[in-house]
Structure 1
Amino acid sequence: MVTPHERVKRVTVAAEVEETPLMGGRVRLLQPVDGYRAGMDAALLAAAVSARSGETVLEAGCGAGAVLCQTGVRRPGVRMLGVERDPDMAALAAANIRLNALDGEVLTADVADGFAALDRPRADWAVSNPPFFDNPAALRAPGPGKRAAWMADDGLAAWTDFLLTGVRDGGSILMIHRADRLADLLALLGRKAGSFRVLPVHPYTDRPAKRVLIKAVRLGKAPLVLLPPLVLHEEGAKHTAHADAILRGEAALDVG
């Protein structure tokens, strides 16, 4: 019998693959040894998805499937739909879904082509951890293995458009991004969504937020809510107790 790990090695000829445990070993993730590696952002995004059994979670730019797999293990009975333009990474994500015995599929497609090109029903949740930069002049060129994860070639609007189109009316959109892009995200999502709930993520209690988690509802009309912040680190410790519990899969993020 061919294992998912062996199957992945056959298709990802451009990169060496290794298995990484996530959520205290509850999730097994195959990912390239070199290049972009799943970390705290993926863990926070998955921890904030409160999808119910039978619902579908669409992820734009799923990479190797870290968010998909962590979400699926956290939320049994949820169906995952990943979209990834890199064929090798899409193959990894599909293998990781199988490796973790989850329900879902991964499509090789470009967010810039729009959700309609997928020919799939709209999802209950649409989530993403988009590339953080869309201006090559603002960032020293990353390594080839990391460029796709860091640079949004078609701009942030392509990602928000994809999420807005891919989620049903009344469905939830969830994104994690740089805190300094909060105004842009609110403006872009606000064309078809509302009922915003914003969670600032601070590296330390005395430092500005570096990330924001934004939840919106397609066609929502409720006032914006700024939630109490999440602090990731404390002096003398790698993570706060709450952040560590999230990484181990023992705690979720309540963003409403």
Structure 2
Amino acid sequence: MEKSSAESFFDNGIKVSQPENGYRFSMDPFILAAHIQLTDTKHLLDVGCGCGIMPLILAYRHSAIRITGIEIQEELSFCARQNSINHKLDKTISIINKDIKNILISDINGKADIIISNPPYKKKNSGRLNPNTQKAIARHEITLDIDMLFKCSSRLINEQGRVYIIFPAERISDLILAMESYKFSPVYLRFVHIKKNTGARRVILCAAKNNKKTCTVSPPLYIYNSENKLTNEYISMFKP
């Protein structure tokens, strides 16, 4: 097992171990977690949970939910399981080391109310493939692409369930095409910019199954302000 290192967040309330040289989480999980609405949510599924960072954040903030993390990579799933145990959240968080395509509803003890994902974001044959297999699988659509994510979500989610994703803004057309193919509709969009007067880098999407309501487009999220300092909203995402 590869050597790991730990990072602390939420005033040291969360201490996350992850592979020292393999795939390491970015700011995206924190941004997405801050936008997930959990009203009346009992069961949440994280597809491609990595070291378990989003389940930890959500379980720390919301004690009355059940979270299942799905991770195809054995080493990352081991990290996720250990992180939940170390935080005494193993009764709230369960981790399954399996390809999402092979997950049965019985594996997750019933359909999910919400599915979340910070999925691989680079098309399989685009750009340089990282020589580190763990990073390559996490970043490129090798074992999971956006179409397969919505296909599996349609099968594993409740009829009125929601899917939350953070994805490159430049690939929003791929998101829309995948959603429509599996009867999901966007109900919330927000674009993420490094700072004002720059193009959007990410899009936060909430899509609902079998739902034809109008879509809310929120004002942009900026990471840096005009003085090149982190914005208060962004800073708040790393606090309890």
Provide TM-score, normalisation by structure 1: 0.85
Q: Do residues 204 (structure 1) and 201 (structure 2) align?
A: no
User: Quick check: 1:204–1:234 contact (8 Å CA) kept in 2?
Assistant: yes
1:109-188 to structure 2, matched below 5 A, reads: 109-113=98-102, 115-116=104-105, 118=107, 120-136=109-125, 138-144=126-132, 145-153=134-142, 154-188=144-178
Report if the CA contact (8 A) 1:53-1:76 is conserved: no
Contact 1:31 1:92 in 2 (8 A): yes
In 1, the alpha carbon distance for the partners of 2:170 and 2:155 equals 24
Structural RMSD (CA): 1.9
Q: 1:229 to 1:54 in 2, by over 3 A?
A: closer
Letter of the structure 2 residue corresponding to residue 85 of structure 1: I
Deviation at 1:91, TM superposition (A): 1.1
Percent identical among aligned pairs is: 22
**Greater Cα offset, 59-68 or 218-227:** 218-227
Q: In structure 2, what is the equivalent of residue 248 of structure 1?
A: 239
Shift of 1:238: 4.3
**Alpha-carbon spacing, 1:142–1:236, altered in 2? closer, same or farther (3 Å):** farther
User: Does residue 46 of structure 2 align to residue 59 of structure 1?
Assistant: yes
1:209 & 1:49 partners in 2: Cα distance?
20
Answering whether residue 106 of structure 2 is matched by residue 104 of structure 1, we say no
Whole-Å separation in 1 of the counterparts to 2:36 and 2:155: 18
1:25-78: CA deviation from partner (whole Å, max 9, x where unpaired): 221211111122222101011111222476111000001001110111121211
Structure-1 residue corresponding to 2:37: 50
Structure-2 residue corresponding to 1:28: 15
Does residue 216 of structure 1 match 2:211? no
Question: Runs of at least 4 residues of structure 1 off by over 4 A?
Answer: 114-117
Partners of 1:71 and 1:169 in 2: how far apart? 23
Checking the alignment, whether the CA contact within 8 Å between 1:134 and 1:156 is kept in structure 2 is no
How far apart, CA to CA, are the structure 1 residues paired with 2:149 and 2:82? 24
Q: TM-score, normalising length from structure 2? A: 0.91
Gap regions ≥5 residues in structure 1? 1-12, 250-256
Residue 93, structure 1, aligned to residue 88, structure 2: no
